[in-house]
Structures are given as C-alpha cells and as structure tokens.
Structure 1
C-alpha cells in the first residue's frame, strides 16, 4: 500500500461561516464493527448490492436505499437470507439518512442513454450534505463514492455542494473515492480478492476510507489525491476499450481470415492480452470509459484513439443487424450484456433489436434470466419470445449475444438440431457453440471468424 504523497486541492468556493467538527479522528470502522453505527448503500444494482452483502458478511448493520420501490422491495426479499444481520432496505430517503448511519457508500449510475450523467450522484451527495449540515452530528460522516466518475466531478460538482452548505471537506464531512472493479462471476475475483484503488479529498478522508474498505478488501492502493483517483477507473477501462475495438477493426479489415485464431496466437506473447471480436461492448464500464475521459479532458481532440473506439464500438451493432436483416425473422438469444448477469445496460442486444426494428425485420428476444414482461418493458410490447421452441422454428437467424451457461444445455441444443425445411444461420458473439458439429441445415459463424458478417444467402423459399 502506498502512502499519501500530495495534499488534494480545495474547492474554489470558501465554506460559509459556522462551527466545525473537532479535528480529531473518528474510528468509523470500529463503530461499524461494534454495532454502534450503520452503513448506508445508495443504489442497489449489482455493485451496490454486492457492497451490502460484503458488509453484512462482516456483521455490519446496513441500510440499502434505491430510488426504485420495486427494486428495493426485491432486494428486501434477498436480504432475508443468512448472510449476516438483516439489511434495512428502503426507497424512503429519510431512513437512508437515519441518525445511526455513519458511513455512506454511493453506487448510483453515472450514465444515461449511453452518455456520462452525474445527476443521480449529485442528488444523493446533496441529500447527505444537507442532512449533515442540519444535524451537525458529533462525528463527521464518511462518504465513499463507488460509482465511476467523469474526471473533474469532485472539484466541479461535489466539493462546491459541501462548501456552500457550510461544511469543510475533510473536517466536517469526509469524502473518498473507491471505484469498483469487478469480474462478476469469475471464481477468485470477488470484492475481497481484487486489488482496489482509493483516495480522499484529504488525509483524514483517505485514512477513514482505508479502514472501512479494509473490512471487505484485502489489497488497497492509495492514489495521491482525488484528481488522480477519478482517472484510474476510466483509464484502465479505456485501455480495454481500445484493445477490443482494435480486435473488431481487424476482423472487419481482414474478412477472409479467422481473426479469432490470429488474436489467440498473438495473446501467447507474454506482454500481449487476448481479445476477441464481438458484437460490441456492454455494461456500465468499458463502453462508457472512453466517453468519461473525452468528457472530462481539457482538449478531447488529443484523445483521437478514444473517439475512434467509441465510433467503432457503436457501429458494430448496426453491422450485425444489417448483415442478418435480409434473411428473415431473427431470434435474439440473450438480453443481458454478459453471461450469468442480469444487467442489460448498453447491451449489444438492445442496440441490435432497435436496429432490426428500424430495418423492418421481424424479431423476438429470449433470455432465461428475464421474464417476458421484463423484456417487453425494455424493448417494447410483443418483443419477448414467449414460446422458445416456436421462436427457434420460426427464425431464419439466431443471434447469441451473452454467453449464458444455460445456452450450452437443453432445450437449446436439441431445438437447433431439429430438422427443418429452411436453413438456419447462427451468429455467435462469444463462441458459445463453436465446438459443436452442426447438422447440414445450420450455417454457424462466430464473431471474428472467417467472413463472419458475410453470411450465407437465404434459400429461395426464405427470400419469398
């Protein structure tokens, strides 16, 4: 763990006059562990809920808040298990600001419609600041932002809120950043296992965050200040965004080559990663990382690689839809952007469905993790395939988007193997079925494989 090497800059706005809290250190971790205080997690998506579960596992009393009452109700049911002390799940902001809450984890989305958006973050932080200024609690609350931030958010948006309320950052209110790294379902890459970056707006904030985060994380790395800390998450994901985009561009430039195999072989070099062409990236992190950096840069024209990554990544969905649209009805298997995770944020499946609708192509969507009602809510009425067997038989093309484990078993395989009069094209994003021997009526393509977007022409009956 590195030490704090520079003092962070202060917000330009001077704090209003008012009594400051004593400049003594409050042991937030000890209060949480002893049960004298609770933590509140704002935002109960995948990131926020995993924080709730990690805190409960350490015996910490937790309040979980989500602005969506339906999600809060569902998470309340999830919290009934034996993971630790019961979480108080609510959509009532007053309960999230209860007097016993000493630590706030903020895990709200910072994007809207595929663009950086700090509105929810600012709203939550302003509520915490207003409550702190009104109550003047004996101990300064600790706010740990787990959301990914556009560079400049702390200086331009958050610190002015605190100072205008008469609170001195790092004295009256402790503010830290600890953006999340997640490998989701991969064994050995959980919240405790992954190295984590943290920082504060001052030494007290950083120290308090280190102590509390140490309850859940084994390896912590301290950034010199919040200025550097804001950038780390965006930069590390932008690296991956550019590399994935290069893989896609190579597959488009060398259509006669199996680029999946070329990239696999390139990845055998000790300092080269292995990347795969795809329908495009998805989720909260990688597709947005370049946009965060472009939005926060003083001169975005110097980040031309990131601009090109955004353009290519966005274009991939349209290329897939345009390739399969002339062949007739399409079945999209998977709404989630990643296998085993019920998250559809910026999923390629959503953009492909929108493009198919624009092209006038009939299609339906099926995902074992989503109900028909949920799919219709996200993509429009009548989109969900309510009868999987019928949807497969009616389709001329099957697009496999996430690599859900269920896709490797029944009933999917037997349905695809069924004899049929019309040929069937399968376009597989992650190579879920690349090792299968397919019957003659199936034309199988994996994203990045030879001529993967140069799909076979439909039979005459299909054309009619």
Structure 2
C-alpha cells in the first residue's frame, strides 16, 4: 500500500509548530512578527519588495534604524528558521499560512493597493487544501466585506478550506515592556471553525489572546482603540487654542490628578502610523463612499486637526526672529519613522509663508531631510547659534544636552518645547523658553498678513 500524500491538517501542524509561515512586509510589524514566530519554532519567511532590506535581514542586520535592540533578529536566525525573500519566492507565496503586515496607508490616507497585491498573489497560488490568511494591517470593514473576497477569489463565509483572520497589531514603541508578546491580542475569524487555528497561531507568540465574535469585530477594534486617543489629543490641542492666555499643560496636569482622567499634553501635531489614520479607517468602514458619515464627531475632529499645522506655523512665526530650527523629523523618539510626522507638516506651512527653516534628525541624512520636507539641513549642534527660534519637536536621546548647549550660547535662540521636557533644566537661564500650550508659545498677537 502506498503511503498517504495528503497534507497534514493545518491545526495539527500549527500545534507542533512545523508549519511554514509567510509574513508579507518587513517593516517593524512584519519583521518583529516573523522573529517571534521563528523563535516560537515556526519556519518563517518574510517577504518584502525592498531588495536592500531583504539582503540586510539575510545578513543578520536589522534594517530599521532605532529598532536594532527591539527586534531579536539574531536570536530568530540562530536556528535557521528565519529568512527573507522577495515576493516572487514561489515556495513562500504557496505557503498555507500567511501574515499580512503591509502598509495600508500612504501620505496619511488609507490605500488598498499593497493589500490587494498580496491577497491576489496568495489567491492565485492556492493549490487546494487549507489556507490561513491573517490580516495584521489596519483595515476598513468595507475591505473585509468587498476587497478581501475579490482579491482572494473566494467566499470567506462558505469556503471551508480558507481560514481568514483579523488580528490587528498593537505596539507601544516607547516602552520595551509593551510588545508583541506582552500586549493582549484580539483575533477574530470569518468562520467560527477557523478560530482554533487562529488561537493556536497567536497563542504561540502572545501571552493573552482575546477571541472576537468574528473578524469584523476584531478588524474594527484597532481603529476604535486608536480613535479614543485621537479624539482626546485633538481636544487637548483645541483647549490650547481656546485658552491662549492660560498655561493649558498645567491645567491638564491638574485635571490628571483625578483618578480616572488621563494626562495629555498639547503638541504641534498628532503623528505616527496609527493614531492619525484611525478616524479615516473608522469613517471608511461605515456606510458607502460619498455618504454623510454617521460619525460626525470624528469628521469634525479630522477637519479641525487638518488645519492644526497651519495654526502652529502661524504661532511660531509670531515669536520668531531669524531662521527657524526644528529638531526631530521622526514622530517618535529614537526611531526612524517619518509617517505622519508633525514636524514635516509644520515645516510645509512655515516654508509656504516664506520662513527660513532648518531641520535636523539623527535618523535621516541631510539629503533625506531636504527631500522629505524642503527644509535646509541643520548641522547639529553647530547651527544652533545662528537661529532665531528653535522648535524641539522630538526628544531624541541625542538632544538630551540641549539645555546645556543653549545655555552656553551668548545669544541663544528662543526654544519652543513641543512636549515640555526641557523646561525644568532651562528654568532660571537666559534662554527664552516657551512650552507648547502656554501663553509664551502662543502669543495673542494679530495674525501675520
């Protein structure tokens, strides 16, 4: 009798962690997921269109500046279970398990192109039998209903061989203790029968897995949880606008002494991958394109926030006298993340008003600074003495001695401190200081013509 050549049931292969996994996208989300899966025992291939990034991963180099100590690439590769490849790797595309971690936004707006490309490739490579596709990218519910079935060429609710999972990723890049393993994971599936497979896969890399009623509930979780924070931050910035004669950061600190009130700080803008995009995904998932949104509060917040960089630029111009320097292009400290950069948006408006703007970020080359923002590169720390105003946008560790450097200058620039972290060190010095959200940063002078 010939031995059976039927593939093992997918659940059993996930349970003993012998099933190869393909991760689409070698950004922070995809590469960290691939490393976690490899460390859990799964043979794992991470696919990316960036050949340089693929080469660096296979050479053992984390290709994401600022995340070298966060992504355990060396440990993941030590057992030979992790490799990187381009999306034309036929074996990886034909795998039975796929994690989709591609960008679903461009220039601050949701885009479907990369997701459609990946799902179309997976759908064409399916040769029968079970396939699990987990969406870790942020998605709109309309995409789950329409885009995903069309791209895969399958009906999620009725195809018994297709296991579709929504498992939106959570991360807090500013805290090493809040990561893929420690943060609770929400997962939901298109069919109830697929949930045991999803729990088995994600239980291998996350300490807590919360099952959702289905994949639509799981998919909406990410936009909603970020939407909470977005609305709070917009309100915080609105308060600073509404009360220009008060120290609004102090008001917010005092309000935060109440046990159930979080403490926020006014800022020059809301940045990053997720929070600024959350309202767009939430609104996109309701009704149909072109219809009036049933989330009017969200729509109003988006409209106000869209004009915020212009108001920030105007406030900076009211207090400046000479060239304007900006420290930090990345939205998060000690990382290279330009997506949703508040500094970039403010720079755009300053330049449009004729300002002379110089910008520095240790994670971007001078050429990249100019290409991304139009600003002149600021030479750190040599150019500090020639500035009229300096905006401390992102508190990279490199700038930890900024107060000492400014205090040593004979004619220091006025410092506009985005998050107020340098105030204590500059108190009593000759450096003109303005914490964002205080009257010093937002003088009530008439607007410039």
Aligned-residue Cα RMSD (Å) equals 2.6
User: Can you give the 5+ residue segments of structure 1 that lack an aligned partner in the other structure?
Assistant: 1-20, 458-464
**Alpha-carbon distance in structure 2 between the residues aligned to 1:188 and 1:292:** 28
- Would you say 1:437 and 2:426 are equivalent positions? yes
**Alpha-carbon distance in structure 1 between the residues aligned to 2:321 and 2:301:** 29
Displacement, 1:95? 4.7
Greater displacement, 208-217 / 356-365: 356-365
Change (3 A) 1:265 1:440: closer
Residues 386-424 of structure 1, C-alpha deviation per residue, up to 9 Å, x if partnerless?
x21332122111111122233213xx3443123334x51
1:291-370 mapped onto 2 (5 Å cutoff): 291-298=280-287, 300-325=292-317, 327-370=321-364
Displacement, 1:456? 9.9
- Would you say 1:46 and 2:28 are equivalent positions? yes
1:252-267 mapped onto 2 (5 Å cutoff): 252-267=241-256
2:279 pairs, out of 260, 278, 290, with 290
SS in structure 1 opposite 2:381? helix
SS in structure 2 opposite 1:286? coil
TM-score by length of 1: 0.84
Residues 23-52 of structure 1, C-alpha deviation per residue, up to 9 Å, x if partnerless?
966334235x23xx3211111111112112
Residues 317-349 of structure 1, C-alpha deviation per residue, up to 9 Å, x if partnerless?
222222223532111101101112211101101
* Equivalent pair of 2:48/2:86 in contact (CA under 8 Å): yes
* Equivalent pair of 2:93/2:125 in contact (CA under 8 Å): no
1:16 paired residue number:
none
Change (3 A) 1:359 1:212: same
1:3 paired residue number:
none
* Equivalent pair of 2:156/2:164 in contact (CA under 8 Å): no
Displacement, 1:68? 2.0
**Alpha-carbon distance in structure 1 between the residues aligned to 2:155 and 2:407:** 68
1:226-305 mapped onto 2 (5 Å cutoff): 226-298=215-287, 300-305=292-297
1:91 pairs, out of 69, 86, 93, with 86
Change (3 A) 1:434 1:53: farther
TM-score by length of 2: 0.87
Change (3 A) 1:52 1:366: same
1:149 pairs, out of 126, 132, 139, with 139
SS in structure 2 opposite 1:337? coil
SS in structure 1 opposite 2:11? coil
- Would you say 1:82 and 2:75 are equivalent positions? yes
SS in structure 2 opposite 1:426? strand
Residues 284-303 of structure 1, C-alpha deviation per residue, up to 9 Å, x if partnerless?
11101111112221264431
Aligned length, in residue pairs = 423
Change (3 A) 1:43 1:455: farther
User: Can you give the 5+ residue segments of structure 2 that lack an aligned partner in the other structure?
Assistant: 1-5, 63-72
* Equivalent pair of 2:102/2:114 in contact (CA under 8 Å): yes
1:5 paired residue number:
none
1:207-226 mapped onto 2 (5 Å cutoff): 207-226=196-215
Displacement, 1:186? 0.7
- Would you say 1:66 and 2:48 are equivalent positions? yes
